[in-house]
Amino acid sequence: GEQNNFYSPGLPRGGMGQLEQVLEKNLGIDINYYALVNYNALKESVDSVGGIDVVINSKDPRGLYDPNIDWSTRKPLVKLTNGPHHLTGQQALNLARARGDSYNSYGFPASDFDRTANQRMMLVALKNKATSSSVLANPAKLADLSDVVGKNVQTDLKAAQVKRLYTIVKKIDSNNIKSLSLNNANGVDLLKSYTAPGGQSTLIPAAGIDDYSAIQSFILQQSSSNPIVQEGARVVVLNGTDTDGLGTLQKNNLSKQKIRVIKVGDAGTTLQKVKCLPLEVYLVRIMDIITPLPTPTWDFMTLIS
């Protein structure tokens, strides 16, 4: 990684505190801790555990090729066929850097997004190797790995928390680790290219600058265990009682569960049972009656009566 102007003193938890605030606001997630890791950590970590095993599954039948030169070997940065490979630290570092931006490259159709996907793949492979019996039973490898982390990682995690995290990670099945990409979120690109006033190429939400609603919904749906949230349901809360404020109270309760409430209102005085045909309405809470409404623009309705 790089330390730039974002890493400045005087801000809460330094520049990382500012970064956390921006990410929490834009992505709609809570960030409890941070880790600032440089590229050297990947190379040395992979070497400390004896290399990692990955499977290249490029859409190009030839595999991956980035002809940029690795000056330590004077060979192409990456040239890997599809299939299993055992990578050294330098090979892992090269793959983490490659994005196929040179002439004659192949296997990187999404460029930087492919690079980050490969980085995530290698992190899982490193996790698998670091928690394998061959490493856990080898005090020297464990000591080397600990030394690498100490030299190359800045974090606000305490030593006891790092130890606890390692214990938890050992128990996690890699098949249960979910990796999300915003450039192809269930077949939809949530990002688009944008040229900044200074000429820099950057990415912004496809919905427009500062409109992170679709991105937030996607992340929430993918990370929640609540089926209503996973569906991306839109909820309307109607208060059919004589007590003011109950609708807002129910909205707040649902919002704490990350359920999207798009409207709070009164149920009205004339109520009857109806069947909504254009869009099935599920009742989060059924209280005998629901109000006749036009074609619904929501998926769930909760009625307080």
Name which of 122, 96, 112, 235 is nearest 177 in CA terms: 122
- pLDDT band, very low/low/confident/very high, at 10 (cuts 50, 70, 90): low
Tokens encoding 176 = 């249960």
pLDDT, tens digit, for every residue of 72-115?
888 899 999 999 999 999 999 999 999 998 889 999 998 888 99
Torsion of CA 18, 23, 25, 28, to 10 degrees: -150
In angstroms, the Cα distances linking 34 to 114, 128, 148, 158 are 24, 22, 17, 11
CB 38 within 8 A of CB 30: no
Q: What is the pLDDT of residues 220-234, one digit of tens each?
A: 888 888 887 888 788
21-34 pLDDT tens trace: 999 999 988 899 99
Do the beta carbons of residue 132 and residue 51 sit within 8 Å? no
Q: Which of 16-30, 88-102, 150-164, 239-253 has the lowest mean pLDDT?
A: 239-253
Quote the Cα angle for 285-290-292, to 5°: 145
Place of tokens 């520049």: 15
DSSP structure class, residue 187: T
Percent of all residues in the chain with a pLDDT value above 90, rounded to a whole number: 36
Partner residues linked to 193 by β-bridges: 203
> Tokens standing for 301?
């309705």
Instruction: Name the average pLDDT for the chain.
Output: 82
By C-alpha distance, which of 98, 58, 56 is closest to 78? 98
Residue 188 burial (10 A CB sphere; 0-12, 13-18, 19+) = exposed
Long-range CB pairs of 69-73, under 8 A, 24+ apart, other chains included: 70/94
Q: State percent of the chain over pLDDT 70.
A: 83
Q: Look at 57 and 305; give whichever has higher pLDDT.
A: 57
Please report which confidence band the pLDDT of residue 235 belongs to, taking 50, 70 and 90 as the band edges: confident
**Residue 194 has which token pair?**
């944008």
